[in-house]
Chain A
Amino acid sequence: MTIAATAGRTAINPRAAVLAYLAVSGIVLLLMMLLGLTMRLAQAQWIDVSPDFFYVVMTMHGAGMVGIAGLCSAAVMWHFVRRHVPVSTAVFLTNLVFFLIGAVLILGAGFIGGFGAAWTFLFPLPAHSGGLWSVNAAAAYLVGLIFIGVGFLLLHLDIARGILSVYGGLGAALGVKQAFGLAHGEEGPPPAVTASTMALIANILGILVGAAVLIISLVNLYVPSFTFNALAAKNLIYYFGHTFINVTIYMAVIAVYEILPIYAHRAWKTNWAFYLAWVLSTVFVLTVYTHHLLMDFAMPTWTLVAGQVISWLSGLPVLLVTAFGTLTVVYRSGLRWNPAAALVFLGVAGWAIGVIPAIADGTIAVNSVMHNTQWVPGHFHTYLLLGMVAMVLGFMTYLTNPQSRYGVAWLGYWLYLLGGVVFVLAFLSAGSASVPRRYAVHVAQWLPYDRIGSIGAACAIAGVLILIVRFFVGMRTAASAQDPSG
């Protein structure tokens, strides 16, 4: 079922709204990458950055990247789900406005207020700045996150409304019947609907939990006598943080389902395994967060064992359904590679490959010696920078497909890919050499990793810059164009 564009009900061109999201995302992504490069160069001792500023940059990079990951992948989701269910462009844009307000508060908290408690604002650190940031700066940061969360809550609720109006229930939209063989796979909901349903279930729950712990942290700032159990707070924060960042990939992957078949001239077959994968992923993403607490020995042991086992299990749908499906669609399809197809294909590869070091660290015996080393940024940059971001860049390229300038896009693609690989491998190898994460100052024996990583990062950013400039060049014509169809 396809619902014609909602343009009749609202004055705003939905396509322009998507492009607005992507334009903001492109700029913020680049700026945040430059902050990332600043950290790498500082650790490499190629530039001089004071620790207090380093930790502000780290906090801004973390929060900014997580937020923008949500924003750009939401643009992918909304663009495609809109073909199947009625959604409101006004709500979509409201989320963007809330995001920008939140971003201003967060950037102010960091660069004016000096807030540097890391994006995870682990309780009670925001209230213990050691004199570096004020209570108000911490509050601005937390309120900024609340704004962003509320925006996403509205967006997901609106999509839920649209999905319910067409499919009647979330189970039907997820494809639960198909997953368990009670209905034919071919008759199931389109992948974009299934993925959006998973995203809204996970994110609505995650954001509500996040709001609770944000409010607790806020009250604690102003009423220090109001304290809260640190372990409970950590559970709530990771429940929210893990879910939010994970869901970005599940939203962005819709670009792969939609774009790759166009260029490969093959349909993405949705069978029971596809729906089962999504049903299981929904369960896993909401239950796996305890793998962030494996070194909190005070946690009930069964929750940590579950965190390990679910970490392993959650790799299966990614590898055996999405990655395998991608390979099947492309295999000897006669596909002539173009940058959009290559980017979404790379996105799946980055995601699937990043799952391997993630699972390793989700194993308690490994976590005992790798937790909070650079192995952690190593694995998540693999599936965020080379996975989620690649999918979004593919989507941006697909929307603004000026065929005549492939040459420069390929240059961007290869710089980004090769630089990115060097960058993440530098983190992973540093992690296995016990280099801690989140250290402003590195000792001499760690510098080689930092320097190689810096070079990789600089190449990757140059590549992304090319792809994003190309997006802006093509953006004007894209607003009135149709989606490419092959």
Chain B
Amino acid sequence: MIQDVVWSVSIILMGALALVFIWVATGASVAIANYGPVIDAAYRLRVWLFGIALIVLIGTNYKTVGELPYINTLPPLPAAAVQPVQVVGQQWMWTITPNTFKVGQTAEFQVTSKDVNHGFGLYDPEFRIVAEVQAMPGYTNVLRYQFTEPGTYQVLCLEYCGVAHHAMQAQIKVTDH
């Protein structure tokens, strides 16, 4: 899952950066009399770091901007290949029609709200988020998702919408062929 990759990479980078701070902090008491050479060496190092950062930045953004979830950036599918789904959020319930699917089916959730902002959060049977989109009054946001796994999916509200926000849940059933 993306989450696991992000967690691992973040923890490694955060830990590495923390180690750099700890290394500099613990070595601070030993003085180098001359600051000039330290500055010069640091500036040279910084040029390298800048270069590396730029490569990572361009590479990652190039890759990820090519895979956006927005419907206007996705290839159009023939009408027979998608199942349109009406999703309406309101304080504090979801109305989802239809709410049963088959594995392999591609759903296009047309998500809107009757009152305030809500968030359509799709949780897989292991209770991990696989997709989300905002439900905003006055707008219909289209989220495309292909079900790959059978089981009971949960829809949780992911935009704070008042006192029963945490209870605003619904279920989606996905069956084998």
Residues of A within 8 A of B (CB): 51-52, 55, 116-118, 122, 124-125, 128-130, 132, 229-231, 234, 264, 266, 269, 273, 295-298, 301, 304-305, 308-309, 312-313, 316, 319-320, 323-324, 327-328, 330-337, 342, 345, 348-349, 352-353, 356-357, 360, 363-366, 368-373, 428-429, 431-434, 436, 438-441, 445
**Distance in Å: Cβ of A262 to nearest Cβ of chain B:** 14
Known: A370-B3, A436-B166. 10 other contacts (CB 8 A): A122-B159, A122-B160, A125-B162, A264-B28, A297-B141, A301-B73, A353-B17, A432-B7, A436-B121, A439-B165
Q: State the CA gap A380–B145 with chains docked (Å).
A: 30
Residues from chain B with a CB closer than 8 A to the CB of A305 are 65, 68
Q: Please determine whether B163 and A365 come into contact, CB atoms closer than 8 angstroms.
A: no
Output the nearest chain B residue to A305 by Cβ-Cβ distance. B65
- Given A295-B134, A297-B134, A364-B68, the answer on whether A369 and B3 have CB atoms closer than 8 Å is yes
Q: Please determine whether A124 and B28 come into contact, CB atoms closer than 8 angstroms.
A: no
Q: State the CA gap A285–B32 with chains docked (Å).
A: 37
Taking a contact as CB atoms closer than 8 A, the residue among A129, A342, A349, A372 that contacts B18 in the complex is: A349
- Given A125-B162, A331-B24, the answer on whether A320 and B132 have CB atoms closer than 8 Å is no
Q: Please determine whether A327 and B166 come into contact, CB atoms closer than 8 angstroms.
A: no
Q: Is B55's beta carbon under 8 Å from chain A? A: no
Taking a contact as CB atoms closer than 8 A, the residue among B9, B69, B166 that contacts A440 in the complex is: B166
Q: State the CA gap A438–B159 with chains docked (Å).
A: 8
Q: State the CA gap A440–B91 with chains docked (Å).
A: 16
Majority SS at the chain B contact face: mixed
Q: Please determine whether A55 and B28 come into contact, CB atoms closer than 8 angstroms.
A: no
Q: Please determine whether B4 and A432 come into contact, CB atoms closer than 8 angstroms.
A: yes
Q: State the CA gap A313–B50 with chains docked (Å).
A: 11
Residues from chain A with a CB closer than 8 A to the CB of B161 are 125
Q: Please determine whether B163 and A372 come into contact, CB atoms closer than 8 angstroms.
A: no
Residues from chain A with a CB closer than 8 A to the CB of B72 are 301
Q: State the CA gap A281–B18 with chains docked (Å).
A: 23
When A and B form their complex, what is the total count of cross-chain residue pairs whose Cβ atoms lie within 8 Å?
225
Q: State the CA gap A371–B135 with chains docked (Å).
A: 13
Q: Please determine whether B6 and A360 come into contact, CB atoms closer than 8 angstroms.
A: yes
Contact with A along B59-88 (1 / 0, CB 8 A): 011001101111111000000000000000
Output the nearest chain A residue to B38 by Cβ-Cβ distance. A331
16 residue pairs bridging A and B, Cβ less than 8 Å apart: A122-B159, A125-B162, A130-B163, A295-B132, A297-B133, A297-B142, A301-B73, A312-B57, A320-B53, A331-B42, A336-B29, A353-B17, A371-B132, A371-B158, A373-B129, A436-B157
Residues from chain B with a CB closer than 8 A to the CB of A323 are 17
Q: State the CA gap A414–B132 with chains docked (Å).
A: 39
Q: Please determine whether B28 and A335 come into contact, CB atoms closer than 8 angstroms.
A: yes
Q: Please determine whether B65 and A337 come into contact, CB atoms closer than 8 angstroms.
A: no
Taking a contact as CB atoms closer than 8 A, the residue among A118, A130, A445 that contacts B127 in the complex is: A445
Q: State the CA gap A296–B64 with chains docked (Å).
A: 18
